[in-house]
Amino acid sequence: MNVKELADKLGLEIHAGKQAADRDILGGYTGDLLSDVMARINPGTAWMTIQTHQNIVAVAVLREAACISITGGHRPDRETVERAEKENMPVLLADDNSFDLCLKIADLKVL
Amino acid sequence: MASLSRTFRIQKRDFTNAGNASISVKKLLKSLNLSACVIRKVSICGYEGEMNVVMHAATDGILAFELTEKKIFLTVSDEGPGIEDIETAMQKGYSTASDEFREMGFGAGMGLHNIRENADSLHIDSTLGAGTVIRMEFNPGG
């Protein structure tokens, strides 16, 4: 499943980085401590976080995440959107909290 | 293969560009077809070193990268404030980051720990008031 398919199935807005939404999702991770995320995610991860500042894009790019999903109804900073566009990193927005979003992804039975 | 080197300035408190030096190094390694494993290690160490300068350094810092036939060298240096007790600072969970940075998801006390876990060789020199130099080496083969 790719990022666009995930967003479509769950009704998530792709707020930035649409041009890279055909990237395949190979796994998922939920975390808000950036060093933890750096150390633990693998390429192709759909990363769920409540962090909204631009440094999340650097982490996602360095670890080749498939996308960032900002959960809990939080909205990214303007700089985050600009950086995500520049680095081709899809940023999805979810009103669900991270746990509920993970449950919905699990229900899709695609990972 | 000749040696290849790059130097990047890291600005303290500059979250706009924080991570860009490491991203540049990562893209360079990827273009040279190095293994995913070594790219992962260098990316993690570069990022953590870079964030240390952004969050803690008194002045701007430098990230220096060098690739030789046998080794990758990554050196992150700044001019203060220095680390009082390196052994304590290396402990997982220990951090002197401000509340402001903790709220942003930094300051979990994992930075130096991540570096130690991922660098094939690590040496830290630090003098209070003078600065810190983190020297990391990686085996390009793995």
User: Could you read off the pLDDT of A10-42 as tens digits, one per residue?
Assistant: 999 999 999 999 999 999 999 999 999 999 999
Q: Cβ separation of B43 and A36 shorter than 8 Å?
A: no
- Strand spans (E) along chain B: 4-10, 61-67, 72-78, 121-127, 131-138
ipTM of the complex: 0.92
Q: Any idea what the Cα angle at residue B47 is, between residues B85 and A65, rounded to 5°?
A: 140
- Facing residue for A63 by CB, picked from B43, B104, B105: B43
CA distance B138 to B41: 8
Range of the structural domain that residue B96 is part of: 4-138
Question: What residue of A is the nearest CA neighbor of B105?
Answer: A33
User: Could you read off the pLDDT of B133-142 as tens digits, one per residue?
Assistant: 999 999 998 6
| Identity of residue A33 | L
- Facing residue for A33 by CB, picked from B48, B108, B117: B108
Domain count, chain B: 1
The mean pLDDT of A72-95, rounded to a whole number, is: 97
Percentage of chain A beyond pLDDT 70 is 100
Regions of chain B with pLDDT less than 70: 1, 142
Q: Cβ separation of B44 and A36 shorter than 8 Å?
A: no
Question: What is the domain-level CATH number for residue B19?
Answer: 3.30.565.10
Question: What residue of A is the nearest CA neighbor of B50?
Answer: A58
pLDDT at B50: 97
pLDDT at B1: 58
Q: Cβ separation of A62 and B111 shorter than 8 Å?
A: no
Confidence of residue A110 (pLDDT cuts 50, 70, 90): confident
pLDDT at B2: 75
Confidence of residue A1 (pLDDT cuts 50, 70, 90): very high
CATH numbers and ranges of domains, chain A: 3-108 (3.40.1390.20)
H and E: helices and strands count for chain A: 5, 5
Confidence of residue A4 (pLDDT cuts 50, 70, 90): very high
- The pair of structure tokens assigned to B42 is 């260098």
Confidence of residue A75 (pLDDT cuts 50, 70, 90): very high
- Facing residue for A55 by CB, picked from B18, B44, B117: B18
CA distance A86 to B72: 28
Do the Cβ atoms of A14 and A91 come closer than 8 Å? yes
The mean pLDDT of A85-101, rounded to a whole number, is: 98
CA distance A70 to B125: 38
Q: Cβ separation of B110 and A35 shorter than 8 Å?
A: yes
